Structure 1
């Protein structure tokens, strides 16, 4: 029998959507029925896929750097019921031709979208052209946003039961919404702190702080390093610069003269090891980063959320006791001292309660079942036209 084709459409706006897509692909590859599936991941915003989409991404990233309040206005408008429909419809109209080209190329039986732009465009293409693929959407934050809520999507995956209940209250079929958690890469989150410290190049004697700013290394990490230099207590500091070459060079220069022990990493696949080595993570509250920290039982100090989804993520982690949210004007150094001295055990427990490290495997199982049902329906239709 010909293998079923699963097409995962993501968008390289930050790294969370892509990391979720890759986590799903890996989980499908490990599934018992993996031999029955052909799985492809396509970055909807890549230059080789669409120059227009790529330019839109560059404009978006520039907007976040220079005028984040403008994005706040966009997010609030798009989050309203009417506004969400307008924004979603506008982007879908712009992007539907690209989806059509991708669909004709890959001929998928099932599309999984980890970003609302390809989700909306795939739904519009299916409606217009009567395509037969099933459609699933994976939300990568800890709060609902109206731009994701497309009628006709066959399966939604959300982070929490509260989000699933909210979608049911909005009229979505409860059977079409699964609170799986946000998929993260498979890793050994049982690795001991001592073993992780050794792998990170540390001896384990010092309290360890991990600094991250997503795949782009954004979020004022240079200012965070400067704040940590004012602490009396000596620390080990792990800096993940991502693809931010300027930050990497700066962090290495700071490390040369710092009284702290500083290890600097560029973009790395060893984040789970670094999280197990750390006592505290200082970061922006991206949905994937929070999910990985929860799985590692790692307390968080959150700062500078992008207005909109990251703000909602910060609210979620803080309310559940796994994070402290540092607001503008509050002292970074004092917050770090207080957390390290008094709050690590309780915050570790809270993070573990939030953890859903099996989310990717759960999503893969549901997707495999969707394919089975779809193929069974196709067989019945062919047998009894």
Structure 2
């Protein structure tokens, strides 16, 4: 691995998970091969604004405003045959809209490409078929479920989050030798050992008290009413709430915290999530592939909140059937499960053990080691 390889990571900013996975793989590359040159490109920076709006803005609106419709589209598109008219039309639109990306790839001249979204992988599949790209292209799947769009011929390899995803890839015709069950990549900070007492002290928390972390994502949606309900129902609970970039929600939480001193700890956007997880007994979160993989790597059990139909429901199913999480469909469900775990702490401890057993803190390095070895 002494040669200075050029590795290109391609992602899509439709939700944060795909981008975070690419950054995690980039960091893993530099840890394994400091002399390598690694670059991460967002495909949405190379498409017309109308296409970007469909792929990102409309996607976010659909999953937040019309989750049931998104679930139907997710299932229908996963069941559609690759040669269906709808799929051919979609790929044609994607090719027409991403021509500038091909120029950026040529300019960087990578030795290998890793895609953390199916869009760039589909584009490169066509380029490989026409002989315009000859470097190996790998695909990192970012959920614990396999959507049919991830099944892309002519790829050098696939990195799967679990054995079932690998099984499904083979069922769709991918050779077993191309599939590697490495997990979903996370940033190195989530793979490090953290001292709970020190981490709790850094945020003014009592390390001896039961502490839950409520994550509202970048948009901080719905965290205010949940925090109010949970802290009212359980006066002994220390609740840390992440409002993301939602300043209105943060201000409301700070006002609420003033009436609950030592019990409610609101924060805005922060890079300290690993240390906050280390101080937490439970994380309340939506079941995105990246956020749940971070929890697993830290050995923190989860209470999954209102998963959207499609990939989040499939992620939730995987985590629950393996005993690392419980699910609440609404605020009433959250209050019930918080009370249940308080009354039965042995359940929480069992979930913690399962989370630790499922965690793959070295997923990024395991995947990139395979890529670099393929180039050696």
Q: TM-score, normalized by length of structure 2?
A: 0.91
Instruction: Determine the structure 1 residue equivalent to 2:213.
Output: 210
Conserved? CA contact 1:183–1:358, under 8 Å: yes
Structure 1 portions without partners, runs of 5+: 373-385
Return closer, same or farther for 1:84/1:291 CA change in 2, 3 Å cut-off.
Answer: farther
What is the deviation of 1:5?
A: 1.9
Match of 1:297 among 296, 299, 304: 299
Corresponding residue SS for 2:232? coil
Instruction: Determine the structure 2 residue equivalent to 1:174.
Output: 176
CA–CA distance in structure 1, aligned partners of residues 30 and 374 of structure 2: 16
Instruction: Determine the structure 2 residue equivalent to 1:336.
Output: 338
Corresponding residue SS for 2:177? helix
Instruction: Determine the structure 2 residue equivalent to 1:375.
Output: none
CA–CA distance in structure 2, aligned partners of residues 99 and 91 of structure 1: 17
What is the deviation of 1:165?
A: 2.1
Structure 2 portions without partners, runs of 5+: none
Conserved? CA contact 2:214–2:240, under 8 Å: yes
Deviation string, structure 1 residues 65-102 (Cα, Å, up to 9, x no partner): 22122211210111114179666544433333243232
Instruction: Determine the structure 1 residue equivalent to 2:66.
Output: 67
Instruction: Determine the structure 2 residue equivalent to 1:228.
Output: 230
CA–CA distance in structure 1, aligned partners of residues 231 and 83 of structure 2: 44
What is the deviation of 1:326?
A: 1.1
Conserved? CA contact 2:235–2:263, under 8 Å: no
CA–CA distance in structure 1, aligned partners of residues 138 and 104 of structure 2: 16
Instruction: Determine the structure 1 residue equivalent to 2:166.
Output: 164
Match of 2:194 among 172, 175, 191: 191
Instruction: Determine the structure 2 residue equivalent to 1:137.
Output: 139
Return closer, same or farther for 1:84/1:286 CA change in 2, 3 Å cut-off.
Answer: farther
Instruction: Determine the structure 2 residue equivalent to 1:376.
Output: none
| Superposition map of 1:2-13 within 5 A | 3-13=4-14
Conserved? CA contact 2:220–2:249, under 8 Å: yes
CA–CA distance in structure 1, aligned partners of residues 348 and 201 of structure 2: 21
Conserved? CA contact 1:91–1:117, under 8 Å: no
Is structure 2 residue 270 aligned with structure 1 residue 268?
A: yes
Corresponding residue SS for 1:55? helix
Instruction: Determine the structure 2 residue equivalent to 1:106.
Output: 108
| Superposition map of 1:214-363 within 5 A | 214-218=217-221, 220-258=222-260, 261-328=263-330, 330-342=332-344, 343-363=347-367
| Superposition map of 1:138-153 within 5 A | 138-153=140-155
What is the deviation of 1:107?
A: 2.0
RMSD (CA atoms): 2.2
Corresponding residue SS for 1:230? helix
Corresponding residue SS for 1:166? helix
Conserved? CA contact 1:89–1:120, under 8 Å: no
CA–CA distance in structure 2, aligned partners of residues 49 and 6 of structure 1: 22
What is the deviation of 1:151?
A: 1.0
Conserved? CA contact 1:95–1:118, under 8 Å: no
CA–CA distance in structure 1, aligned partners of residues 353 and 366 of structure 2: 23
Deviation string, structure 1 residues 26-51 (Cα, Å, up to 9, x no partner): 111111x331x2110011124x6642
Corresponding residue SS for 2:166? helix
What is the deviation of 1:189?
A: 4.1
Instruction: Determine the structure 2 residue equivalent to 1:23.
Output: 24
CA–CA distance in structure 2, aligned partners of residues 50 and 196 of structure 1: 44
Conserved? CA contact 2:144–2:318, under 8 Å: yes
Corresponding residue SS for 1:9? strand
Return closer, same or farther for 1:349/1:170 CA change in 2, 3 Å cut-off.
Answer: same
Return closer, same or farther for 1:86/1:142 CA change in 2, 3 Å cut-off.
Answer: farther
Corresponding residue SS for 2:130? helix
Number of residue equivalences:
368
Instruction: Determine the structure 2 residue equivalent to 1:54.
Output: 52
CA–CA distance in structure 1, aligned partners of residues 194 and 219 of structure 2: 27
CA–CA distance in structure 2, aligned partners of residues 113 and 266 of structure 1: 30
Q: TM-score, normalized by length of structure 1?
A: 0.89
